[in-house]
Structure 1
Amino acid sequence: MSSSATSDARALLVENGSVTVLRSLKTLTTRTFCSCSLHYLIHHLKMSMELDVFVGNTTVLDEDVYQLWLDGHTVTDAVRLRMETGALLECEASAEVLQSDTMDQFRTFQMCERLLQSPSKVANQLLFQIPPQRQAMLIERYYEFDSLFAREVLGKKLSKGTKKDLDDISSKTGIALKSCRRQGDINLYRSCVPPTWDYAAVVFFANSRFETGKKKLQYLSFQDFAFCAGQLISYWTVGATDSVMEDMDVDLEKEFLHDLKDLKVLVHDKDMLDQHKRQAEDFYRCFHVNLSRALVNIASKLTHTKDVRDLFIDLVEKFIEPCRSDKWTIGDLRLFLNHYSSTAHTLKAFRHQAIWDRYMGVINSCILKMYHD
């Protein structure tokens, strides 16, 4: 080794998770360690008076740094955020070491991105030695939607037209444009995307074109809509009893929507309406004819595309808002819906119990999820 290499200078080289530390003093010895942590590395630099070489073939990935990369931060911003969360104290590292570590990890993630866009390739590639559980984490997080971003694109076709709006979405939500672009591009990899309920909700709402942007619906979060999408996919779509996650491009079952017209008898037949009212009042303090009409009318109109799109605005305007005006608690609402749904089975002349249960099961769940400030 040359005299310059044996000076008191330190060289820290980080490459794809393999860390090599050179420190020279009067007496040089070499030891090899595998898969060392950055904390141990810095500590050893301070304590050792020898040449230590750390070699590892496992790619070291920091989940917090990965999230910063996914969020679209620059290296400079990521270093600042890591420092603000105490990374320097935790690792006993200098700002220069933290900068180098962050830059190296960002470079690794950028190299992995091509593989992440085809998740099946991650397990078979040889460039990065990544344990299976880490592979799963990388893929899962890469295809996660930020809830604020997902709320903005919900109900819209994820296409080139949507991409033109990414600048506006970034400005409105505060999400970095780079992150918005990544999430917008997820639709391009639809055949490769691992099945998740959040992604299924985005695709389902885009295909069905549900109205989600009106002012009265702004209080609803993406998670509210994702829950409702899960209910609709599970119980109202073609082949709803099958594994719906295998095909996210599911459609509402037209035959079922057509059969919902038969429920009109509950409000159009006066004798049946009166009987339903009496049965319900035996269990609950009042029946609320207007609420009954609202639920049945919403059902009977779902044969029309426009009314399907307006499902959520109809539920808010025709059912949820009247309940709010009467100052119902969530407990009041749950009690009414349970008794209203179940007492329909006591009506001897009513012949559509199966359709009724399939409809009200989803409607009850969605209304209860949507009933909040």
Structure 2
Amino acid sequence: MLPELDIFVGNYTLIDKEAYDLWIEGYSIQEAVGVMKQRGVLETWGANMDLLISDVADNYRTFDMLEKLLPTPLRLAEDWTFQLHPSVQKYVIEKYYSFDGTVIREILGKKLSGRTRKDLDDVAEKTGITLRSCRRQFDNVKRIYKQTDDASGSVKLNIQASFLLPPALAQKYATVVFLTSNRFETSKRRLSYLTFEDFSKCASAMMVHWTSSEVSEGVDDCDLEREFLVRLRDLKIVLEREKEHRNVTLSHLRGKIPDRMCLEVENNLKTYSRALISIAVNLINNRDLKDFFVNVVEKFIEPCKQGRWKPEELECFLKVYTDAGSNLDVMSSDVDLKPCWERYMKVMQICIRQLYHS
């Protein structure tokens, strides 16, 4: 009597997610086999080493062929060779374009050139991420930057449309494009304590409030609005009303922060205020714009650290300082000045809160 067999035929390519994750992380076949063995795969499936090695090698061949389509995810969605279930396709693309903040932090501020790619050995050694993974992340950043830098409209939406990435990941790439396009200095020694997340949060705030998207929905949010930067020079008038601004700030701060910090404000408000205003009025200059993070850390963050501010105290001070500036008499005499001040300080509050590591 012949044995009965149940056979199922399908056209979807099967992806072993555990093997795929290890491939994404840059492990070789032998390294991936070792990791799986440590995780107890042999015991779980009742397999031997030869079978595990053969299975991982087979999966890796599939991933290597699949990688030819991953630089253009839209092609992957239409490809007949690798027909993936929609949920698997989403996973494969998102995982391929995932990145480590420590690696991107090392790439920020550098030219996306072949020479930089050759130096990724140092990045791999410093971050503990495999060289293969570092190269994948670098290539993805370069590819996305090249395709979206000159495109009009929302950078995030362009990335989503072209690379089929989820909103959160597309937004992170958008901040990388923004920081790279505007050539912000991120490599100076005094900025070494900052993480990719710090720069990304600040960039996101700038993209929302300092680009043309602030006043016109759907326009390019990668270029800072020049008219706004020019208008910032008028904030010098806040320094001319320094005594009035100081008195209102101090009166509204009392009772909200400790007395020792009120004394700190009383003694050093001129230093803090002039730092904030000088950064504003000089942003129209390309050099000062490029050195935005350097100037914020050097002129404001470091003096605040010397003053031993707690983050919540500093946040309270900035809010009161901003509100006091908004209520100056001079603000009511110029219809555009108050919105400019508040637009500037909204981002500065976000950036300072993010960059201030106590």
Aligned residues, how many? 321
Tell me, yes or no, if structure 1 residue 275 matches structure 2 residue 244. Answer: yes
- Conserved 8 A contact 2:182-2:223: yes
Which residue, 353, 356, 366 being the options, matches 2:338? 353
Inter-partner Cα distance in structure 1 for 2:100 and 2:3 = 50
Residue 242 of structure 1: aligned partner: 217
Residue 40 of structure 1: aligned partner: none
Which residue, 299, 306, 310 being the options, matches 1:318? 299
Inter-partner Cα distance in structure 2 for 1:215 and 1:164 = 23
Q: TM-score, normalised by structure 2?
A: 0.84
Which residue, 232, 241, 245 being the options, matches 1:260? 232
Q: TM-score, normalised by structure 1?
A: 0.80
Inter-partner Cα distance in structure 2 for 1:323 and 1:219 = 16
Which residue, 156, 175, 182 being the options, matches 1:208? 182
Residue 92 of structure 1: aligned partner: 46
Identify the structure with the greater strand proportion.
1
- Conserved 8 A contact 2:70-2:93: yes
- Conserved 8 A contact 1:294-1:319: yes
Residue 151 of structure 2: aligned partner: none
Q: Which has the larger radius of gyration?
A: 1
- Conserved 8 A contact 1:79-1:102: yes
Identify the structure with the greater helix proportion.
2
**RMSD value over aligned CA atoms?**
2.0
1:64-143 matched pairs, under 5 angstroms: 64-143=18-97
Structure of greater relative contact order (alpha carbons < 8 Å, 6+ residues apart): 2
- Conserved 8 A contact 1:210-1:309: yes
Tell me, yes or no, if structure 1 residue 365 matches structure 2 residue 332. Answer: no
Cα separation, partners in 2 of 1:130 and 1:164, compared to 1, 3 Å:
same
Cα separation, partners in 2 of 1:113 and 1:290, compared to 1, 3 Å:
same
**How far apart are residue 169 of structure 1 and its match?**
1.9
Specify every segment of 5 or more residues in structure 1 that has no aligned partner in the other structure, as ranges: 1-26, 35-54
Residue 143 of structure 2: aligned partner: 188
Identical-residue share of aligned pairs (%) = 41
**How far apart are residue 263 of structure 1 and its match?**
0.6
Specify every segment of 5 or more residues in structure 2 that has no aligned partner in the other structure, as ranges: 148-161, 255-261
**How far apart are residue 344 of structure 1 and its match?**
1.5
Inter-partner Cα distance in structure 2 for 1:315 and 1:28 = 80
1:146-225 matched pairs, under 5 angstroms: 146-186=100-140, 187-188=142-143, 190-191=146-147, 192-194=162-164, 196-225=170-199
- Conserved 8 A contact 2:175-2:204: yes
Deviates more, 1:183-192 or 1:196-205: 183-192
Task: Look up the equivalent residue of 1:103 and give its one-letter code.
Answer: A
Which residue, 277, 282, 295 being the options, matches 1:301? 282
DSSP 3-state at the match of 1:144: coil
Task: Look up the equivalent residue of 2:217 and give its one-letter code.
Answer: D
**How far apart are residue 95 of structure 1 and its match?**
2.3
DSSP 3-state at the match of 1:128: coil
Inter-partner Cα distance in structure 2 for 1:230 and 1:179 = 26
Show CA shifts across 1:227-273 (max 9, x none): 111111111123345347xx67x211111111111111111x1xx21
Show CA shifts across 1:145-189 (max 9, x none): 221210011122312232232232223223222222222222235
